[in-house]
Amino acid sequence: MAIKGLDIFKLTPKTNCKECGFPTCMAFSMKAATGAVPIEKCPYISDESKALLSEATAPPMKSIKVGSGAAEHTLGGETVLFRHEKTLVNRNLFAVELSDAMTDDEVAAACAKLEAVKYERISEAMYVEVVAVRFAADKDKFVALVKKVAECGKIPMIITVDADLAKAAVAVAGAKAILMGATVDNAAAMVEVAKAADAVLGVCADSIEALHDLVETIEKLGYKNLVLQVSDTSIKEAYANAVDIRTAAIKGNDRSFGYPSVVFTNRLAPGDINMQIALASAFVLRYGSIIVMEEMDFNAALPLFGLRQNIFTDPQKPMRVEPKVYEFNKPTGKDPVLVTVDFALSYFVVAGEIERSKVPAYLAIPDAGGYSVLTAWAAGKFGSTVIANFIKEANVAELTTSRKLILPGKVAVLQGDLAELLPEWEVIVGPNEAMQIPKFLRDLQA
């Protein structure tokens, strides 16, 4: 942030009247510079100065809302280039692209796929949020397709450079649809359409310089609800654009580039889904805000949604679950006990598999520092003593008459020690991977 406490101080009357709640104008100015108190708290700073200041104290990258109701998402709003510097706040969205050139059957199949590829992973719903509709030839069909997308609860991305057609399409697209886009040739007309419909306007240009000029033109026309398209002709240019735009915004204080980006992997590698997965993965890390794919089957969704979930966690808040004994599939006091760690990822993976097995069971989780099984073990937080103490302190022997205690396969080395510490228990080494738990539990039951 460019603004300093001293810059604000210069704009106060320096009377130390305390009306802002601070003892001195200087104290107020220092706080205001960090964004911790709004400039408006001082009634003596002129409106002109306030407008100037709010521009200067605004975050480097705008937060742009797309979609409405249940489909609403926020893009952008980032303050750092690398997640370890603080955290990345708004995860990217994924999109697939349809067009009026597709047959009804093709559209139906694509929609069915959007319905099918929906699941939960570590309490987060995973699905494609945005559906792009590209105009080919048939205006009526195009508008009908946009309408259909909106009705399915997806955020429509309307791709046309024809302002009249865009107007007809946004009318059926719901609030905060995305309109791709404004070009040097149609900017004024597109801004009109976007403004009237409260749509997010996508800005497209042939080069990064031209893109910058066009954003400035559009901002002068009074519209700042924008997303920026990176090159869709060359991988090199697309990647460089995405990085340069974000770097200019965050490090260069260039507000004209302080907007989210849109990347069309389907245009960069048409027909090559593996290459699209590779590109999408690169852009999850490096500054793609909406990433468009040809289609999203499980082979693409599983890795990409997993990666996104990882990258957009807050590095300052390790994901943990409460250490305690969890119950699955309605145990009745005679069912086996599995052991794992309090790392949220490990817990959710294991919990999901125990549920899938339908076998009633208990899951005992000691305090393992919030680490994965091997990390906790290597850090000395998931040894035989830790586990044995937990089993005793949580009175697990009173919860169930079963004396089967199942260890994660990766810490098989603990079996001997643990058996000595818990003589009344039969310590069993489970499989290495959680996905083998259902079969393992069913075999154990048999």
- List residues near another protein by CB under 8 A: 81-84, 116, 121, 208-209, 211-213, 216, 234-237, 239-240, 243-244, 247-248, 251-252, 254, 256-257, 268-269, 272, 274-275, 277-282, 284-286, 297-300, 302-307, 309-311, 313, 315, 345, 349, 372, 378, 433-435
Site for ligand B12 in 384-423 (CB under 6 A): 406, 408-410
Find out whether 238 and 263 touch, Cβ atoms under 8 Å.
yes
Going by DSSP bridges, is the β-strand pair 290-293/426-429 parallel, antiparallel, or unpaired? unpaired
Find out whether 129 and 289 touch, Cβ atoms under 8 Å.
no
Give the one entry of another protein, ligand B12, ligand SF4, none that residue 72 binds, where binding means its C-beta sits below a cut-off of 5 to 8 angstroms depending on kind. none
Compute the distance between CA of residue 263 and CA of residue 285 in angstroms, rounded to an integer: 13
Compute the distance between CA of residue 288 and CA of residue 270 in angstroms, rounded to an integer: 18
Residue 92 lies near ligand B12 (rule: CB under 6 A):
no
Question: Binding pattern to ligand B12, positions 300-339, x when CB under 6 A?
Answer: ------------------x-------------------xx
- Would you say 338 or 388 has its CB closer to ligand B12? 338
- Would you say 40 or 297 has its CB closer to another protein? 297
- Would you say 76 or 336 has its CB closer to ligand B12? 336
Q: Which residue of 136, 379, 412, 413 would you call a contact of ligand B12, by CB under 6 A?
A: 379
3-class secondary-structure state, position 264: strand
Find out whether 211 and 205 touch, Cβ atoms under 8 Å.
yes
- Would you say 66 or 126 has its CB closer to ligand B12? 126
Give the one entry of ligand SF4, another protein, ligand B12, none that residue 84 binds, where binding means its C-beta sits below a cut-off of 5 to 8 angstroms depending on kind. another protein
Chain residues that interact with ligand SF4, rule: CB under 6 A: 12-13, 15-20, 22, 25, 28, 42, 44
The angle at the Cα of 126, spanning 122 to 128, to the nearest 5 degrees, equals 165
Give the residue closest to ligand B12 by C-beta. Answer: 430
Cα 389–chain centre separation: 38
Cα-based distances in Å from 347 to 193, 263, 355: 49, 34, 12
Find out whether 180 and 194 touch, Cβ atoms under 8 Å.
no
CB of 240 to another protein, least distance (A): 7
Residue 67 lies near ligand B12 (rule: CB under 6 A):
no
Compute the distance between CA of residue 299 and CA of residue 280 in angstroms, rounded to an integer: 13
- Would you say 8 or 277 has its CB closer to ligand SF4? 8
Compute the distance between CA of residue 404 and CA of residue 425 in angstroms, rounded to an integer: 6
Give the one entry of another protein, ligand B12, ligand SF4, none that residue 282 binds, where binding means its C-beta sits below a cut-off of 5 to 8 angstroms depending on kind. another protein
Give the one entry of ligand SF4, another protein, ligand B12, none that residue 5 binds, where binding means its C-beta sits below a cut-off of 5 to 8 angstroms depending on kind. none
Give the one entry of another protein, ligand B12, ligand SF4, none that residue 338 binds, where binding means its C-beta sits below a cut-off of 5 to 8 angstroms depending on kind. ligand B12
CB of 441 to ligand B12, least distance (A): 9
Q: How deeply is 104 buried, as exposed, middle or buried, from its count of CB atoms within 10 A (0-12, 13-18, 19+)?
A: exposed
CB of 313 to ligand B12, least distance (A): 10
Give the one entry of ligand SF4, another protein, ligand B12, none that residue 279 binds, where binding means its C-beta sits below a cut-off of 5 to 8 angstroms depending on kind. another protein
Compute the distance between CA of residue 63 and CA of residue 72 in angstroms, rounded to an integer: 13
SS3 content of the chain, % helix, strand, coil (to 5): 45, 15, 40
Query: DSSP alpha helices (H): ranges in 314-414?
Result: 344-357, 373-378, 384-393, 396-399
DSSP line for 159-198: E-S-HHHHHHHHHTS-TT-EEEEE-TTTHHHHHHHHHHHT
Find out whether 418 and 406 touch, Cβ atoms under 8 Å.
no
- Would you say 28 or 328 has its CB closer to ligand SF4? 28
- Would you say 21 or 315 has its CB closer to ligand B12? 315
Give the one entry of ligand SF4, ligand B12, another protein, none that residue 284 binds, where binding means its C-beta sits below a cut-off of 5 to 8 angstroms depending on kind. another protein
Residue 431 lies near ligand B12 (rule: CB under 6 A):
yes
Which residues would be at the binding site for ligand B12 (CB under 6 A)? 318, 338-341, 343, 345-346, 349-350, 370-375, 377-379, 406, 408-410, 430-431, 433-434, 437
